[in-house]
Chains A and B, each alone.
Chain A
Amino acid sequence: MTEAATAQKPSSTGAPVVEMRGISIEFPGVKALQDVDFRLLPGEVHALMGENGAGKSTLIKALTGVYTIDSGQIRVGGAPVSFARPAEAQAAGVSTVYQEVNLCANLTVAENILLGREPRKAGAIDGRAMRARAREVLTSIGLHIDPASTLSTHPIAVQQLVAIARAVAVDASVLILDEPTSSLDADEVAELFRIMRTLRDKGTAILFVSHFLDQVYEISDRMTVLRNGKLVGEYLTAELSRLDLISAMIGRELGEMDALARMTASHEADSSRVPTLRARGLGRVGSIEPMDLDVHAGEVVGLAGLLGSGRTELVRLLFGADRPERGTIEVDGKPVSIRNPRNAIAAGIAFASEDRKGEGLIADLSIRDNLVLAMQASRGWARPVPRRLKDELIEKYIELLDIRPANPDALIRNLSGGNQQKVILARWLVTQPKLLILDEPTRGIDIGAKAQIMKLVATLAAEGMAVIFISAELEEVLRISDRVVVLRDRQKIAELEGRSASVNDVMSLIASHSDGSTLERNAS
């Protein structure tokens, strides 16, 4: 907080339009925010930085009245406020545009922009006035689309801008943009930034959250960094180097990712032995064409391919999440019949689904229960995991995976995405699988947790576990994998050596014999 005090005032002057002091919020078992100060000046773009779980979303939700603060004070425009719900915040000039577009896709652009504030004539909505007003707002942010068109006919990027138009239409003095760029391409981002600058120059205070450092440096004037629910400091963007920013965010030096690359490369699988997994002609109608796959002990096999290429479908068959219709699976040379997840678990296969919320978490149970779930399931209900063993396992994995909070009784729903993912990983590691299947284990989690998980995968392989690794990020797949299996249109089209292959190799394989739209999708 000393940094906050010493930071210079940016170019814009005037009293802060938002001032939050000593904000604390506690969820059962989790201190989401502890004594955090935050201020937002008129006419600035202020980036809120931190890893997942640092408290960014919580701070925003505290400001907008989604969460009730346990202690601290919030002032907007100098006056103390306590918004009981988001509508009150909006009425006070604090508008929020969330990451997921939350507009009504079946209404027109104009209806969306003026929803709840429709101009009226003799009690009925005045459609003409509404379209005129909407056009005015759209023009003011430089967006030239027909206000009478249905929202769903526009691409996501435009819908995002409509959401901003909606926020602007209420003459917001504070505009909060939570990850507005995650679904936009470069031109669209440029367009968004142009609009943001226009608004800023008109005196709007903009709070900007993004995972993309380039964008943060391009657009923001100042930034506030949070870590583990605490304030690290407030800085002028121009005076904070990227390296300093990252170490402020993760609280340690970088370089772990680089060490990882070496570690994976130094490790060699012995392919002459009997493979841990041998699948032959495995397939299911409407899911994947019959294909073969071998994974050896100590080997990381990456599956690369676009969404819908069959990468997820393949591993679901291996795990029995979907029932295979044809083909055979051998584990350690012995044929096994896998018709459901129980068979797979008994054969020593573990699977962390890409859909963490829908297929992984038991949201209302504690870290403890979530962690022992798979082990308990295979023991049956009548033989509970002994308390002592449970405590031992939990202590071990909380420490090994750096799960935060380190409180076994915290409900998993209150954890950040990265920590939830670690608990799911731990759930499978306690079953001591021979083959670990990870489908998008790093999706939606921050750099620090990502590095930890990648490092863990490398360590597990080095200890002799067979791993199948799926990620939409090709660099990640290539960095971790000894071998990469490339899939396209539900077929296996190639196998590459992980170390020698490049992103370009894989992309051109995926693009070859394929129609242009696939290539385009891949390139964007």
Chain B
Amino acid sequence: MSTSTPLGKLRTNGLLWPIVALVALLVVNVIARPSFASITLRDGHLYGSLIDILRNGAPTLLVALGMTLVIATRGIDLSVGATAAIVGAITTTYIVAAPDPASARAAFIGMAIALVACALLGVWNGFLVSVLGIQPIIATLVLMVAGRGIAMLITDGQIITVNNEAFSVVGAGFVLLPVSILISIAVFIGLVIITRRTALGMLIESVGINPEASRLAGIRSRTIVWMVYVFAALCAGVAGLMITSNVNSVNPNSVGLWIELDAILAVVIGGTSLAGGRFSLAGTLLGALVIQTLTTTVYNLGIEPQAILVFKAAVVLAVCLMQAPKFRARFVRRPKPPTPAIRPTAPAPVPSKVGQ
């Protein structure tokens, strides 16, 4: 198991296959439509398909980052989509009802109130899981189901449209790059620093791997698990702001719909085990990009709408299989022991499937 070469390192930390999948998807797109790779500068903004992928993937990435930590503690959070809808509903409802609905002040207060509410939702989830000890999948299912209802109540069942420049910046603004991707990247970098430069990452992993041993070593397992759900809810909240801000309206039934599944997929593709324990934020970043690129690819290749979900599922399955050690051991030929210098990587199934 050579870990000295860059390739060997990628193999051992599990980032190889997501990278292969991402590159393969990009190559397929460029072949199908050469202009895919071009990026142009207009009015100080970057435009292009790649930028679109980043912008559209920003909410998924954000939610997936929160989900990574939750999954690392052996949990799961199904309520993130509903949380995003509630945050969108609160913000837009506040802005519309404010005395000066077009002012930046209204936007900021609206977003602040929504994020505080969203943190409370995270506190609720964390309470159910860490204090009452309810299975995470059930505990967060409560809010997943109830959340959209709450959002509907807030907007009184209406689709609310806002016209507020300051609010639009979050989802549709540009500072060279789309603001939404800048936010997600900032959260990513911040999270890497806070988990890997402090001991937080190790303690989260420790709790996820063996909760009882962690408790006996004096780790505040309950606090850590609780914090992680609050963080996941905040990530979902900001994602909800991005989504509603991008279209300047909120439909409680569709904001962040199925985003929890995309987020979980991104985490899994990134190599973090659903069984908890060690997590990879870089993997999640790659996973979110793979998911978003895949969606874009589907449109770019003009695949029939009816086949989109099946196609997506096939690619995700292929990536996950290639990551599974047991599958690889069985179907990917290992080199004979006497010449262990190079391990030929088997051709990824992704490009061959996409190429059809």
Binding site for B on A (CB under 8 A): 26, 28, 68-72, 84, 319, 321, 340-342, 345, 351, 353, 358-365, 369, 373-374, 376-379, 381-385, 427
Known: A359-B213, A364-B205. A377 touches B218 (CB 8 A): yes
Q: Which residues of B contact A28 (CB under 8 A)?
A: 1, 3, 12
Interface string of B202-242 (1 = CB under 8 A from A): 11011001101111111110001000000000000000000
> Are A70 and B337 in touch, CB under 8 angstroms?
yes
B1, B200, B216: which has the most chain A beta carbons within 10 Å?
A: B216
The 4 closest A-B pairs by CB, nearest first: A71-B337, A377-B218, A381-B200, A384-B199
Q: Which residues of B contact A319 (CB under 8 A)?
A: 216
B277 close to A (CB within 8 Å): yes
> Are B209 and A364 in touch, CB under 8 angstroms?
yes
> Are B1 and A377 in touch, CB under 8 angstroms?
no
> Are B213 and A361 in touch, CB under 8 angstroms?
yes
B197 close to A (CB within 8 Å): yes
What residue of chain B has the Cβ atom nearest to residue A69's Cβ? B337
B199, B213, B218, B277: which has the most chain A beta carbons within 10 Å?
A: B218
B55 close to A (CB within 8 Å): no
Sampled A-B contacts (12; CB under 8 Å): A70-B340, A342-B220, A359-B212, A360-B216, A362-B205, A363-B210, A365-B209, A369-B202, A373-B214, A373-B217, A377-B217, A382-B199
> Are B212 and A362 in touch, CB under 8 angstroms?
no
> Are A342 and B329 in touch, CB under 8 angstroms?
no
Q: Which residues of A contact B340 (CB under 8 A)?
A: 70-71
B148 close to A (CB within 8 Å): no
B306 close to A (CB within 8 Å): no
Q: Which residues of A contact B209 (CB under 8 A)?
A: 362-365
> Are A353 and B216 in touch, CB under 8 angstroms?
yes
Q: Which residues of B from 4 to 20 have beta carbons under 8 Å from A?
A: 12
What residue of chain A has the Cβ atom nearest to residue B206's Cβ? A362
> How close is B268's CB to chain A, nearest CB, in angstroms?
17
* Option from B202, B212, B213, B330 in Cβ contact (under 8 Å) with A376: B202
Task: Give the complex CA separation of A345 and B218 in angstroms.
Answer: 7
Task: Give the complex CA separation of A4 and B122 in angstroms.
Answer: 65
Q: Which residues of A contact B74 (CB under 8 A)?
A: none
> How close is A417's CB to chain B, nearest CB, in angstroms?
15
> Are B337 and A72 in touch, CB under 8 angstroms?
yes
**Inter-chain pairs besides A69-B337, A71-B340, A374-B218, 13 sampled, C-beta below 8 Å:** A28-B1, A28-B3, A360-B216, A361-B210, A362-B206, A365-B209, A373-B214, A376-B199, A376-B203, A377-B220, A379-B199, A382-B198, A427-B217
Q: Which residues of A contact B338 (CB under 8 A)?
A: 71
Q: Which residues of A contact B198 (CB under 8 A)?
A: 381-384
> Are A364 and B217 in touch, CB under 8 angstroms?
no
* Option from B1, B199, B213, B337 in Cβ contact (under 8 Å) with A362: B213
Q: Which residues of B from 308 to 356 have beta carbons under 8 Å from A?
A: 329-330, 334, 337-338, 340
> Are B216 and A341 in touch, CB under 8 angstroms?
yes
Q: Which residues of B contact A373 (CB under 8 A)?
A: 202, 206, 214, 217, 219
Known: A70-B337, A363-B209, A376-B202. A26 touches B1 (CB 8 A): yes
> Are A362 and B210 in touch, CB under 8 angstroms?
yes
Binding site for A on B (CB under 8 A): 1, 3, 12, 197-200, 202-203, 205-206, 209-210, 212-220, 224, 277-278, 329-330, 334, 337-338, 340
> Are B202 and A342 in touch, CB under 8 angstroms?
no
Task: Give the complex CA separation of A8 and B132 in angstroms.
Answer: 67
Task: Give the complex CA separation of A70 and B339 in angstroms.
Answer: 11
Known: A68-B329, A364-B277. A374 touches B203 (CB 8 A): no
Q: Which residues of A contact B206 (CB under 8 A)?
A: 362, 365, 369, 373
B199, B215, B224: which has the most chain A beta carbons within 10 Å?
A: B199
A26, A384, A385: which has the most chain B beta carbons within 10 Å?
A: A384
* Option from A340, A362, A378, A379 in Cβ contact (under 8 Å) with B214: A362
Q: Which residues of B contact A70 (CB under 8 A)?
A: 337, 340
> Are B1 and A341 in touch, CB under 8 angstroms?
no
Task: Give the complex CA separation of A222 and B122 in angstroms.
Answer: 65
What residue of chain B has the Cβ atom nearest to residue A366's Cβ? B202
> Are B218 and A360 in touch, CB under 8 angstroms?
no
> Are B1 and A360 in touch, CB under 8 angstroms?
no
> Are B216 and A359 in touch, CB under 8 angstroms?
yes
Q: Which residues of A contact B216 (CB under 8 A)?
A: 319, 321, 341, 351, 353, 359-360
Q: Which residues of A contact B224 (CB under 8 A)?
A: 381
Task: Give the complex CA separation of A32 and B8 in angstroms.
Answer: 20
What residue of chain A has the Cβ atom nearest to residue B197's Cβ? A384
> Are A381 and B203 in touch, CB under 8 angstroms?
yes
> How close is A24's CB to chain B, nearest CB, in angstroms?
8
What residue of chain B has the Cβ atom nearest to residue A316's Cβ? B216
Task: Give the complex CA separation of A379 and B203 in angstroms.
Answer: 12
Task: Give the complex CA separation of A28 and B2 in angstroms.
Answer: 9
Task: Give the complex CA separation of A321 and B214 in angstroms.
Answer: 11
Task: Give the complex CA separation of A376 and B219 in angstroms.
Answer: 8
Q: Which residues of B contact A351 (CB under 8 A)?
A: 216
Task: Give the complex CA separation of A341 and B277 in angstroms.
Answer: 22
> Are B218 and A378 in touch, CB under 8 angstroms?
yes
What residue of chain A has the Cβ atom nearest to residue B224's Cβ? A381
Q: Which residues of B contact A359 (CB under 8 A)?
A: 212-213, 216
What residue of chain A has the Cβ atom nearest to residue B278's Cβ? A364
What residue of chain B has the Cβ atom nearest to residue A369's Cβ? B202
> Are A360 and B337 in touch, CB under 8 angstroms?
no
Q: Which residues of B contact A369 (CB under 8 A)?
A: 202, 206
> How close is A423's CB to chain B, nearest CB, in angstroms?
12
Q: Which residues of B contact A383 (CB under 8 A)?
A: 198-199
What residue of chain B has the Cβ atom nearest to residue A73's Cβ? B337
Task: Give the complex CA separation of A403 and B3 in angstroms.
Answer: 23
Task: Give the complex CA separation of A28 and B8 in angstroms.
Answer: 12
> How close is A37's CB to chain B, nearest CB, in angstroms?
16
Q: Which residues of B contact A69 (CB under 8 A)?
A: 337
Known: A28-B12, A358-B212, A359-B212. A365 touches B202 (CB 8 A): yes
What residue of chain A has the Cβ atom nearest to residue B205's Cβ? A365
Q: Which residues of A contact B214 (CB under 8 A)?
A: 362, 373, 377
Task: Give the complex CA separation of A364 and B278 in angstroms.
Answer: 7
Q: Which residues of A contact B278 (CB under 8 A)?
A: 364-365
Task: Give the complex CA separation of A69 and B340 in angstroms.
Answer: 13
Q: Which residues of B contact A385 (CB under 8 A)?
A: 199
Q: Which residues of B contact A363 (CB under 8 A)?
A: 209-210
Q: Which residues of A contact B12 (CB under 8 A)?
A: 28
> Are A360 and B220 in touch, CB under 8 angstroms?
no
Q: Which residues of A contact B3 (CB under 8 A)?
A: 28
> How close is B75's CB to chain A, nearest CB, in angstroms?
17
Task: Give the complex CA separation of A405 and B206 in angstroms.
Answer: 22
Q: Which residues of A contact B200 (CB under 8 A)?
A: 381-382
Known: A341-B218, A364-B278. A377 touches B213 (CB 8 A): no
